[in-house]
Structure 1
Amino acid sequence: MKPTALVLSGWGPYKGVERADFEAMQRGLFLISGPTGAGKTTIFDGITFALYGEVSGSIREKDSLRSDFADASTPTYATLTFSHRGKQYRVTRNPKYDRPKLKGEGMTTELEGGELYEEEALLASGSTQVTERVTELLGLDYRQFRQISMIAQGEFQQLLVSSSKERTQIFRDIFQTRIYDTMTALLSSRVKGLNGRIDEVKHRADEITGTFRIENGDWEELKSKKNRTYRKRLGFVEQENERLGSRERELASHLRELDQTYKDRVRA
């Protein structure tokens, strides 16, 4: 989000309409500087209030933003125009405040309100609706925005002292890495499923190999190992199967020889 201009009316020390034009400073970094009381935080308050309906610091209250010097006919509001992802937006808010009646005596109350536009299209109307849409648009809520984008004077340590979990959440929202969290969760689920299937296969392999009766001490030692080396078990079984096959062929050949000897003697 890049601010383009900020307009403040009847706001704080300003009894009229004041405009801060940021568009001429879009080529690089710029510094908002000045002595204490010069109005630096007032600019931050205006930007933050326009976006979220809250001020940037913890000292000011949003219901005390109206200028004590403003005329009854001067409204109090903050308008911020900004660009975001190639699109232009304009958001206007007014705080709840009391002002003298335009006619007659006494005071009247202006209720809090707001509007959000994309170019000339109205996206949201009403303070709550505008806050929800801005949060969705920027991917940051008020607390996160204040921590990383609009750090008020005397509160710059809040991000630094935030817990690791809070910082992770903030940066995840900023850089929109939730897709990777989703992918990680999906892959973890698949890994869990595959591990379950592997365990089933291992259990079945244990059952099958447990039925083998091989008169060999090496086989018994191999089965008793806690680290189930199935490749070695398979290799041992294949060797034993080959040995038994060879022995079977030898016995079959010897049987044929005995049978032939028996037939020769009978004929004799």
Structure 2
Amino acid sequence: MQYVKVEIIKNSEVAAQIFELQVRVELGHVKPGQFVLLYPRGCLLPRPFSVGDYVNNVLTIFYKVVGKGTHELTKLQPTASIYLLGPLGNGFDIPTHHINVIAGGIGIAPFFLLKRFADDVTLVWGVKTKDEFFGLERFKGWDIHLYTEDGSHGMQGMATDCLNTISKDTILACGPVGMLNQLIDFAISNNRYVQVLVEQRMGCGIGACRGCAIRRRVGGYFHLCEDGPVFDARTIVL
């Protein structure tokens, strides 16, 4: 697999410091939970981003501005170009029955594509404040439960507050490490199948550099790009 030069179609702010980037590219089949690497100008290493959506050869990525790489991305205008590698990673194992989705902040990104694969879904999405919600209309038909830490919209609290009442169906989750650790503890304590999408910096994205190691609970290491980024929560240590 090689990097390809792709054209920017859209790059606009959709919520507080959160952007929607669209590029035109032929990727073939893409699974929810897979990712791509983008090479922002002036950066030594590429940046990984979950596939947000993919239809009619248009790839959508949602990203939050948190550092040099994402700041450089905000400068891209339509008709500009960037280098892309992907799709990469394993993606979610999507059940044929009801699914619970738990997302924290920008961790909602991979679940826009899931909407094209599954209809019987309960979505629990938590953010710090209401200005961080975006794209809710795209989840029409799902059972949606919203949380804000400051109580500005929906229930006050965090997405993981739902764990005591959520159904026993498979959980798919993506969000900050603190949230994922709560889900890991929940999965182990209750012997529940929880798929967590782990996001972190990486180098090559194809398993060659071995720079994206995460600990296996039974000893040794997984490599995020090669074995993930989606894992059974009971098998990893973050």
* TM-score normalised over the length of structure 1: 0.28
Q: Which structure: larger Rg?
A: 1
